[in-house]
Amino acid sequence: MASIDPIALTEHLGRLVDDIAVEADTARTGGDILRLRDRLKREWDGVTIEDGIALRGSRLLGEEA
């Protein structure tokens, strides 16, 4: 299993959430909601369960993420 950098993972997910919020606003005002849904699915497909476990584990151990 590859070592996961929890800081990089947190930053990536934070950018993803920001991007999705912007695109959700656009979708509500006439953008393509299906395009937004597909992008979210593609992004999350790139995050493995091991990534999530590593991030949660570092938080439980009191490490900054």
Q: Which residue has the higher pLDDT, 14 or 52?
A: 14
- Exposed/middle/buried for residue 8 (C-beta within 10 Å: 0-12, 13-18, 19+): exposed
Helix ranges (H only) for 2-64 are 6-28, 33-45, 49-60
- pLDDT over threshold 80, residue 59: no
Per-residue confidence band for 11, with pLDDT thresholds at 50, 70 and 90:
confident
Domain range holding 39?
6-60
Residue 1 lies in a domain: no
Residue 65 lies in a domain: no
Specify the number of domains making up the chain.
1
Q: Is 40:27 a contact under the CB 8 Å cutoff?
A: no
55 CB contacts (<8 Å, ≥6 apart)? 4, 6, 9, 10, 65
Residue 10 lies in a domain: yes
Is pTM, for the whole model, over 0.85?
no
For residues 5 and 47, what is the distance between their CA atoms, to the nearest angstrom?
12
Residue 24 lies in a domain: yes
